[in-house]
């Protein structure tokens, strides 16, 4: 779908183009795409706060101004969530087909 789609819903490609521009630190291009996307569900305003891809971009004054222009409010950064770690316990007892003499099978 190109840029000639439904005017209420920008092309899906815009969200990917925005991600690419941000990852490549092409912030002026990212600002233009952000304005083209505007308010909507393709990139909801919460995404600008929560998605790690925007971490460096949202530190810029240009981003803050663009966010204010699009959403009509100041950007309030979400706190980065703390690192989460998991520990797994693996109780593995292999089944031995022919256990050695004197060893009780499982």
Average confidence score pLDDT of the chain: 79
Question: d(Cα 45, Cα 29) in Å, to the nearest integer?
Answer: 18
- Could you read off the pLDDT of 36-85 as tens digits, one per residue? 999 988 888 889 998 999 999 999 999 999 999 999 999 987 555 555 45
Look at the block and give the residue holding tokens 């803050």. Answer: 64
Residue ranges covered by each domain of the chain = 13-71
**Residue 103 confidence (pLDDT):** 66
């Amino acid at each position: 779908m190109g840029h000639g789609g439904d005017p209420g819903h920008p092309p899906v490609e815009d969200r990917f183009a925005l991600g690419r521009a941000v990852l490549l630190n092409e912030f002026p291009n990212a600002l233009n795409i952000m304005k083209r996307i505007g308010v909507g569900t393709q990139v909801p305003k919460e995404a600008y706060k929560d998605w790690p891809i925007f971490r460096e971009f949202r530190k810029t004054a240009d981003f803050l101004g663009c966010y204010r222009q699009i959403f009509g409010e100041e950007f309030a950064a979400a706190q980065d969530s703390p690192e989460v770690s998991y520990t797994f316990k693996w109780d593995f007892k292999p089944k031995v087909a022919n256990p050695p003499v004197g060893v009780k099978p499982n």
